[in-house]
Structure 1
């Protein structure tokens, strides 16, 4: 057999193999295309969501600020004299009354000196009385009587000074309140002005905060203030404005406001961070939806509006970009993009796309309260 015949057979075999494999490959591509097309045209099962209608509410306007809790009276109780701690009459963290004895320093020399002065007082009184009798008999002179009176008055003054010196060795509470951690020990030698313990008056209590100057004319004493703290995230404390700074800070263009709150449980403590809301007398009428209805994105916030399908056989979700405003509790103000009464999805948003069919099941709707009242922590 010639080489020409062999080459021709080889060429036919290669051509046949190429046609075979090409047909298999084309069949695979065609099958994959038809399968994808079937999936694309397959009707999407309805997503189950909860829903609510955008509603109109009347909200009282408020101003938000960050504040710091401060005691009405708060000091470090200090010693007035130098000496050794002889007795401690308090425990860390306890409550004390005004003028209650808290600490005593050794005062034996001062007390002994007071006894000496009291003996001098008795002698001065006898001398003054004796000189008065002698003056009546004509034996003593007016000058001698004046001298004994001056001596008596000097002794009385020295006694008062010495009593004050003895009292300096006694540390008492300047006002009623709660003590902090004890800072001295029994037998310790302390100096004048050394801190013994902190003392805070906790009920009522202040919160200090700042507001921009543009609100200066809208804030007034006795306006309601609501306060929340990270320490008690589920608790809302209420008080009223009691003082407004007389001037605006020239650097920050803010002015300081002080509110007073009742604190009978002493949950609020000085130095705590606080989020403050000042209730203004004016009101606004606005459209609100639950916070859970919003889908947040860098290009804008959106909601899924639930509408009847074109065929009229069910509901579909349509994504709509909205402009949001103030937030209160579980609710968010919708400034633009939504009308009163329109139904929006409030859960299951991750399952929704434009035109997605939906079923509504409101058996377990998310909370939607402007002023939620959970159990106090």
Structure 2
């Protein structure tokens, strides 16, 4: 007998057994018994829910924002005149005092011009004195005396001009602070476009940050902040001293600036700061449980209990706490907010209020 005449009947028997077992086996009977004849097509009753009566409440809020540490004063040092560098009088990374000489540019030609003019001034002073005596005795005219006086004043003005030019060959610290790495060397050529170094005063430090415009009424000068930086575990404190008068039209936020003591020098200009800002109390607002709010693509929704049915309502939220959300629009005091069974809620679903939370 050929093998195929044995295999084909066995396959047919196996398929028949599997079909019979699925529809008439013990498991199929148990499933049918559990379902019961009366379960098919029967709808459930009203969904039991808890309801919270919405009311206005006071709310103390705080916000966490990010900001930047800035220097109290910072300037890129440059020379007002061009020339070869004849002296550098500071150490990189060192402290300098206001008015301290930092860099000197070649000025021997100007010094020579000044000496020449000073000699001319002495001669003009003698001439002016003699002419003054002669004029008092009416030996010369007033015009001759005025010429000598004008000559003296002209030389003095020239001397003042050269002195001003000489002062431009000296670069002095405009304020006390720490000077950075220098970009020049002795004997090099310095031009007004060339940077010498950066001078920074970082005590006190400034912290610049922005907050949403909705908090504008809660912000004022002398408000206190707390902040942290990546390079230290210390929590720093600061005081707001200035508020930008204009709101940024792109971000709809307002910029603030605070000061913080930095005697230890831990705070560095350009550092990233995480700021905790305690705001004043909001006297009247609506707070709802977080679990009662259903987010979607367009916004947020809640369900209200009205006449035994669940009614969907769109809302706008703002500040979030650990367990609550602030609702700024969409709800009013007295609304019956469904706070349980949210997963079963659909518009116009029948509900049964089990508990009312006031």
Q: Is the Cα–Cα contact under 8 Å of residues 81 and 193 in structure 1 kept in the other structure?
A: no
Provide the residue aligned with 1:188 in structure 2.
Answer: 188
Give the number of equivalent residue pairs: 232
Q: Deviations over 1:279-334 (max 9, x none)?
A: 223399xxxxxxxxxxxxxxxxxxxxxxxxxxxxxxxxxxxxxxxx64xxxxxx44
Provide the residue aligned with 1:132 in structure 2.
Answer: 132
TM-score for the superposition, normalised by structure 1: 0.59
Provide the residue aligned with 1:179 in structure 2.
Answer: 179
Provide the residue aligned with 1:290 in structure 2.
Answer: none
Provide the residue aligned with 2:333 in structure 1.
Answer: none
What do you get for the CA RMSD once the two structures are aligned? 1.9
Provide the residue aligned with 1:237 in structure 2.
Answer: 236
Q: Is the Cα–Cα contact under 8 Å of residues 68 and 208 in structure 1 kept in the other structure?
A: yes
**SS of corresponding position for 2:128:** helix
Q: Is the Cα–Cα contact under 8 Å of residues 68 and 273 in structure 1 kept in the other structure?
A: yes
Within-5 A mapping of 1:125-164? 125-164=125-164
Within-5 A mapping of 1:313-324? none
Deviation at 1:250, TM superposition (A): 1.0
Deviation at 1:183, TM superposition (A): 0.9
Within-5 A mapping of 1:58-207? 61-207=61-207
**SS of corresponding position for 2:139:** coil
Provide the residue aligned with 1:273 in structure 2.
Answer: 272
Q: What is the distance in 1 between the residues matched to 2:64 and 2:146?
A: 73
TM-score for the superposition, normalised by structure 2: 0.62
Q: Deviations over 1:131-165 (max 9, x none)?
A: 01111222111111111111111111111110011
Q: Is the Cα–Cα contact under 8 Å of residues 210 and 254 in structure 1 kept in the other structure?
A: yes
Matched, 1:256 2:255: yes
Q: What is the distance in 2 between the residues matched to 1:186 and 1:196?
A: 12
Q: Is the Cα–Cα contact under 8 Å of residues 121 and 156 in structure 1 kept in the other structure?
A: yes
Within-5 A mapping of 1:219-234? 219-232=219-232, 234=233
Q: What is the distance in 1 between the residues matched to 2:160 and 2:139?
A: 33
Deviation at 1:60, TM superposition (A): 6.1
**SS of corresponding position for 1:64:** strand
Q: What is the distance in 1 between the residues matched to 2:141 and 2:221?
A: 69
**SS of corresponding position for 2:234:** strand
Within-5 A mapping of 1:303-322? none
* Unaligned ranges ≥5, structure 2: 1-58, 284-319, 326-358
**SS of corresponding position for 2:248:** coil
**SS of corresponding position for 2:281:** strand
Q: What is the distance in 2 between the residues matched to 1:60 and 1:335?
A: 12
Q: What is the distance in 1 between the residues matched to 2:213 and 2:61?
A: 17
Q: What is the distance in 2 between the residues matched to 1:282 and 1:85?
A: 61
**SS of corresponding position for 1:203:** coil
